[in-house]
A and B are shown apart, each in its own frame.
Chain A
Amino acid sequence: MLLEAHKLSVGYPAQKGREGGVPRREILAGIDLALPSSRFVALLGPNGSGKSTLIRSLAGLQPILGGIVTLDGVNMSQLDLEDRASRMATVLTERFDSGYFSVADIVAFGRYPHTGFRNELAPKDREVVQSSLEAVGLEGFSRRMFAELSDGERQKALIALALAQETDIIILDEPTAFLDAPARSEIFHLVHDLAFAGKGIILSTHEVDLALREADEIWLIDRRAQLIRGNPDEVIASGAIGAAFDSPRLAFDAASLRFIRKNSGVSPNSP
C-alpha cells in the first residue's frame, strides 16, 4: 500500500487560553483506509463534513489527533519533510500571487525535494518539468506567465508541479472548485489517466456525478461522520450518497447520477 491509515482521528487539538481555551475538536475518528497504486479515489461529503480536514491530515499539512498514517509502510510522522515530499505530492486550491514566475518556474517547484539548497536545476530536472507539462497538456506553455493562465490551465499547471515531484501518491484538495464545466471534466479525465498510468490519487470534490463516473473508488463521509468506502457501483447501490447529501427537496437519482426534485411536494414545473 502506498498510503494507509489505522484508527486515524482528525480535527483540531485543544488550545490553551483564558476561560479554558478552545477544547479539542475531533471531526472524524477511528478511520481505516488504504490507497494502492493505480487507484483513483474520490473523497465525497457534504460541506463541513471534514473532507478538507481529512485530506490535509493525510497530506501531513495538519497534525493528526490520533492513530497512524503510513507512507510505503513508514510512519509519516517519522519522515522528514523532504522525504515526505518525494513520496507524496499535494495540489491545493489556495490562491497565491505568482508575480513574475513563468509556468515552467512554477512547475519547477516540484523539483524542490530533488535539488540542493541553491535550487540549481540539472538538465534532468528540466526534462522532468517539460514532460510534466506535456502530461497535463500544457506543452508550449512553459514560457508563459503563470499569472496569465485561465483557471483551468492554472490548475493543470499545479498538477504538473505535483507530477514534477515524481511521487507515487498525489493528493488533490477540491481541484475543480473554481472551474467551468468543461474544465472540470478535463481535470477528472486527466486524473483518471494519471491513475491508469500507476499513480495512487486521492481527490476531494463536490462533483458527485463526475466522481462516480471517473473514480475507481469512493470514500464518502456521511452525516454521522462515518467514512464509507467502496467502488462507485457499490456506493450508489447502498443508497449512501442519498443518505449523505439528500435535502428535504432534493434526492439523489442513481440512474442519472444527479440530484433531482423530490416527487412529493409541489413543484412549479409539474403539470
Chain B
Amino acid sequence: MVPEARPLGSQDAGPPIPRGTSRFLLLSLACIGLFFLDLLLGSVRIPLIEVPRIFLGTASDPVWSTIMTLFRLPKAVTAVATGAALAVAGLILQTLFRNPLAGPDSLGIGAGASIGAGIVVILAGGAGSTFLGELGFAGYSALALASSLGAAVVLAVILAISRRVASSVTLLIIGILVGYFAGSILSVLIFFASPQKVQVFLGWTYGSFAGVTASRLPILLGAAFLGILIVATMTKDLDALLLGDRAAASIGINTRRARTRVLIAASLLAGTVTAFCGPIAFLGIAAPQGARRLFRTSAHRRLVPGSALVGIFFALLADVMSQGAPGGVALPINPLLALLGAPVILSIVLRSRGREAGS
C-alpha cells in the first residue's frame, strides 16, 4: 500500500529532500490559521480587525482586551501545548511498546491522574464548590497536584515492574490492568459521593482547555517543553527501539535507559496535561498515527515535530468546533476529539488488517 520509500542511503550522495516537507509547511499554516480562528470565536464577538489592536494595547473596547488576554489566548495556548504534549507522549509510548494503539491512557498514566483528581474533587470536604469553574485557587492547585501525583505513582509502579519484566507487551497489559483498577476505584468513589461533587468530577472528565489561567500557563508550558526536550535528545534510540529490544541492544543502544527516559517523559507530558485539562482522549493515539501516514516516515527526527504538529492541529480544531454549538455554549472537548480521533483509529485497524492479509 505504501507508494514509495523515502530514500536515505541512495548512492546519489547528499541527503535527499524529505517528501513530507511541503506537507509540514501546509499543516503549520493550517495550525496558525486555526489558532487565530480560535481567538476570534466565542460567546462575545470580537471583530477580526481588533485582534492586532488588542495586542498593541489600542483596543476599541477594554472588555475585548480582557476577554482576549485572560481567557481566549490562554485557552488557545493551552490547546497548542496540550496537543503537542499528548501527541509526543503517544508517539514515544507507541514506539516503546511497538503497538500502534498504545497511548498515555494505555500505560495507566491518565487513569492514575484521574484517580488523584477524583479523590480531591469527590472526597474534599466542605469546599462548597459545585462546578469546576468555581473551584478556588487552592482547590484547583490541589486538583492539579493530586492528578500529577496519581500519574507519578502509576509511573513509579510501572517503572518498578519494568525492571523485572523484559517484555514490552507484558508492560502494556499491566498498564491496561492499572487502568481497570483505577476505573473501579473511581466508580466506588462516585457511588458514595454527593451528586454535586460527581458533577464537578464529570465536568473535569469531559476535558477542557479553558481551565488554565495565564498565571498557571507557565507550569503547563514548562512541563511540555521539558518533556519534548527529553524526547528530542533521544530520537536515535527511539528509531532503534522499533527493531525490537534485543536488536536495539545489539547495535549499541542501552534499552533500559531509553525505556526509563520514555516513561519519565511520557508521564511528565501526559500527567501535567491531565491535571490541567482533564483526561483528554484520543489525541495521544491518533496524532502519531496521523503523522506517520501524512509524512510517510518512521524516523523520529521527523515524527516528533510531525506528531506535535498534528496534535496541535487536532486540539485547535476540537476547540474551534467546541465553539460552534448553538446558543453560545462551548461543547466539551473529549466528545469532539473522539469524533475526530475514532475514524483515524478505525482506519489504522482496518489498514493493518489489510496489510496482514496482503503479506
A interface vs B, CB < 8 Å? 15, 56, 59-61, 81-86, 89-90, 92, 94, 96-105, 107-110, 112-113, 115, 117-119, 121, 123, 126, 129-130, 133, 142-145, 147-148, 161, 165
Contact = CB atoms under 8 A, between A and B. Distances in A.
A239 B249 CA distance: 38
A86 B296 CA distance: 31
12 contacts: A15-B164, A59-B250, A83-B252, A85-B251, A97-B98, A102-B9, A108-B8, A112-B253, A129-B9, A142-B7, A145-B2, A145-B4
A142 B11 contact: yes
Interface string B92-131: 0000001000000000000000000000000000000000
Contacts of B357: none
B7 A143 contact: yes
Contact of A126 (B5, B9, B297): B9
Given A101-B298, A109-B240, A121 B8 contact: yes
Contact of A104 (B7, B15, B251): B7
Nearest to A85: B252
A142 B4 CA distance: 11
Interface string B294-324: 0011110100000000000000000000000
Contacts of A123: 13-14
A102 B7 contact: yes
Interface range for B? 35 or more
B5 A100 contact: yes
A81 B254 contact: yes
Given A61-B249, A99-B292, A121 B233 contact: no
A90 B249 CA distance: 10
Given A56-B246, A113-B251, 7 more contacts: A61-B249, A61-B250, A96-B243, A101-B298, A102-B6, A112-B253, A126-B10
Interface of B: 2, 4-11, 13-15, 98, 164, 233, 235-236, 239-240, 242-244, 246-247, 249-254, 292, 296-299, 301, 355, 359
Contact of B298 (A86, A98, A108): A98
A107 B359 CA distance: 22
A117 B233 contact: yes
A123 B251 CA distance: 20
A102 B8 contact: yes
Q: Which of B2, B236, B239, B251 neighbours the largest number of chain A CB atoms within 10 Å of its CB? A: B251
Contacts of A102: 5-9
Given A94-B247, A96-B247, A119-B301, A104 B8 contact: yes
A165 B247 CA distance: 13
B9 A121 contact: yes
B250 A105 contact: no
Nearest to A123: B13
A133 B242 CA distance: 21
A86 B252 contact: yes
A148 B4 CA distance: 11
Given A121-B8, A130-B11, A142-B11, A96 B242 contact: yes
Contacts of B251: 85, 89, 109-110, 112-113, 161, 165
A94 B244 contact: yes
B10 A100 contact: no
B4 to A, nearest CB: 8
A6 B247 CA distance: 26
Contacts of B233: 117
B14 to A, nearest CB: 8
A108 to B, nearest CB: 5
Contacts of B14: 123
A99 B242 CA distance: 9
Given A100-B2, A143-B5, A89 B301 contact: no
A107 B9 contact: yes
Contacts of B235: 118-119
A173 B164 CA distance: 25
A130 B299 CA distance: 20
A98 B98 CA distance: 10
